């Protein structure tokens, strides 16, 4: 059982970790937001302050509410505070070995009844849990980007997850005003598996020179009715993350060609064109650029 007033630990202060910390703090929890890189903590704090300041400007939140949220988040460069947490969620790089190492370090510090979760998009919950002495307290809790706005959260039990842990976590996440969906521990779970061909086929059309990114995005929005086109969405998600997820799903499905990663996207990752977060992706987000995403 996770108490409604539990302290929350978030590992990784990137796009997802910062958003999840905001969600938890908005719900009144004290949050420890940890990152291994101090500059990332600064970036996360500055980003969150500016997002929340805009909410005040638009009169969607009061200054008191914003101050409350920011006061409840402790940006930390070590995991000592995690010894007080009832729920810890990891949102670091999509790399199995790094995640396993992180969880075995966390297990040594969190309370006995603390639930441990990964925000992984594509890695096996069973494989991550193999690093734990008590894998029954571990499961996948997969938020979508941007976490404060997206209602859906996939709650995925692994084969070792305790039934009580699965049920109480689902209930807990619902108490955060989210809608949960559960599925089996399979590559990409539900949403990222369905989404793979959306990105993959768009990248193939682009690579074959059939149409450019803006045209494909336009067609998917105007004709397909999607809120964002595949290239805009990849730029938002981050090409490093999106490419890593595709590689992981491709490998996990025994190299099924339906999930084959794209060279064009690989080159962008290699060049550091990661999308919005680095200023450049399929579109150019730098100051004064003339082709930002529509």
Query: Catalytic residues, which ones?
Result: 121, 142, 154, 192
Q: Is 121 in the site for ligand NAI (CB under 6 A)?
A: yes
Q: Which stretch binds ligand NAI (CB under 6 A): 32-40, 177-185, 250-258, 279-287?
A: 32-40
Q: Is 93 in the site for ligand NAI (CB under 6 A)?
A: yes
Taking the CB of residue 206, how many other CB atoms lie within 10 A of it?
A: 20
CB of 104 closer than 8 Å to CB of 88: no
Q: Is 33 in the site for ligand NAI (CB under 6 A)?
A: no
Residue from the set 75, 87, 103, 144 that interacts with ligand NAI by CB under 6 A: 144
Residue 21: CB partners within 8 Å, gap ≥ 6?
Answer: 8, 10, 13, 31, 33, 44, 48, 73
Which residues inside 73-92 make contact with ligand NAI, applying CB under 6 A? 91-92
Q: Least distance in Å: CB of 14 to ligand NAI?
A: 2
Q: Which stretch binds ligand NAI (CB under 6 A): 69-77, 128-136, 138-146, 177-185?
A: 138-146
Q: What distance in Å separates the CA atoms of residue 236 and residue 41, rounded to the nearest whole number?
A: 20
Q: How far apart are the first and last CA of the chain?
A: 45
Rg of the chain's alpha carbons, rounded to an integer?
Answer: 19
Residue from the set 17, 140, 158, 229 that interacts with ligand NAI by CB under 6 A: 17
The single-letter DSSP state of residue 284 is: B
The single-letter DSSP state of residue 36 is: S
Binding site for ligand NAI (CB under 6 A): 11-17, 35-37, 40, 91-94, 98, 102, 119-121, 142-145, 237-238, 241, 245
């Amino acid at each position: 059982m996770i108490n409604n007033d539990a302290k929350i630990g978030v590992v990784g202060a990137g796009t997802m970790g910062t958003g999840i910390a905001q969600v938890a703090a908005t719900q009144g929890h004290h949050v420890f937001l940890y990152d291994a890189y101090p500059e990332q903590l600064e970036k996360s704090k500055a980003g969150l302050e500016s997002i929340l300041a805009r909410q005040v400007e638009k009169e969607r939140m009061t200054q008191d509410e914003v101050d409350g949220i920011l006061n409840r988040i402790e940006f930390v460069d070590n995991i000592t505070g995690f010894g007080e947490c009832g729920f810890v969620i990891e949102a670091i790089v999509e790399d199995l070995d790094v995640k396993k190492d992180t969880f075995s370090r966390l297990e040594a510090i969190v309370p006995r009844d603390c639930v441990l979760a990964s925000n992984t998009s594509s890695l096996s919950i069973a494989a991550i849990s193999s690093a734990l002495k008590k894998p029954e307290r571990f499961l996948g809790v997969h938020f979508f980007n941007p976490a404060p706005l997206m209602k859906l959260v996939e709650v995925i039990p692994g084969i070792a997850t305790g039934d009580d842990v699965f049920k109480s976590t689902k209930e807990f996440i619902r108490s955060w005003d989210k809608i949960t969906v559960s599925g089996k521990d399979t590559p990409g779970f539900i949403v990222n598996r369905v989404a793979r061909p959306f990105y993959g086929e768009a990248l193939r059309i682009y690579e074959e020179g059939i149409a450019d990114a803006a045209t494909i995005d336009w067609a998917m929005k105007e004709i397909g009715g999607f809120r964002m086109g595949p290239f805009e969405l990849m730029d938002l998600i981050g090409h490093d993350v999106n490419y890593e997820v595709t590689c992981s799903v491709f490998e996990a499905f025994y190299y099924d060609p339906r999930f084959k990663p794209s060279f064009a996207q690989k080159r962008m990752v290699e060049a550091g064109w990661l999308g919005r977060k680095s200023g450049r992706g399929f579109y150019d987000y730098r100051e004064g650029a003339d082709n930002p995403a529509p």
